[in-house]
Amino acid sequence: MNRFGSYIRMFLVFFIIQTFLFRNLYLSTWVIIFIYPYPLIVLHPTLNKNAGLVIGFLTGLVMDFFYNTTAVHASACTTMMFFRPFLLNYFAPRKGFDDFSKINENFFGEREYWFYLSLMLLVHHLFLFILEAFRIDLIPASIFRGIVSTFTGVIFIYLFKKLFIRRLEEA
């Protein structure tokens, strides 16, 4: 129950930060900061694949409601959660995952953790921006926008992780 409560708190904190701070923050047309997928990315590694898809869809649906979009975030989060088990299998330790495993730097290793996080955000951002543009001639611009936004999102997640997330994960 303690682990479940810490995930709920993390979801709420990232939801509030995303909707009230980053939704109104304009850096440029190429950089849009989405950090709300972070709690989905660090969900327990032994989570059922179907449960992950449902949680991703519901998280995206809530973001669609607040961003006034029609299922763009829901489909991006669902796609990201679809690729999550494959990436976790790639980055999994030799002994695999158990009930005490956590997705963090200590368990994965610093480099692998940030690479995994970056890939997951990249999948989310690319799918979101390509689906948002929905035109073939805008695919290169959407890919560039996804890469730049992923890089910026990883930087902000790193900063929030150093400031707040350790407290949320330890609580």
Q: What is the pTM of this model?
A: 0.88
The reported pLDDT for the residue numbered 141 is 92
For tokens 């805008």, what's the residue? Answer: 138
Q: Is 101 helix (H, G, I), strand (E, B) or coil?
A: coil
CA distance 59 to 61: 5
CATH code at position 78: 1.10.1760
Q: Which residues contact 148 (CB under 8 A, 6 or more apart)?
A: 30, 31
pLDDT reported for residue 100: 67
Q: Which residues contact 161 (CB under 8 A, 6 or more apart)?
A: none
- Return the pLDDT at 114: 92
- So what's the pLDDT on residue 152? 93
pLDDT at position 151 is: 94
pLDDT value, residue 1: 46
pLDDT less than 70: residues of the chain:
1-3, 26, 93-94, 96, 98-100, 165-171
Cα–Cα distance, 11 to 169 (Å, whole number): 11
Count of domains forming the chain: 1
In order, the DSSP letters of 48-82 are: -HHHHHHHHHHHHHHHHHHHT-SSHHHHHHHHHHH
pLDDT digits (tens, 9 = 90+) for 8-48: 888 888 888 888 888 777 677 778 889 899 999 988 888 88
Domain region containing 107? 2-170
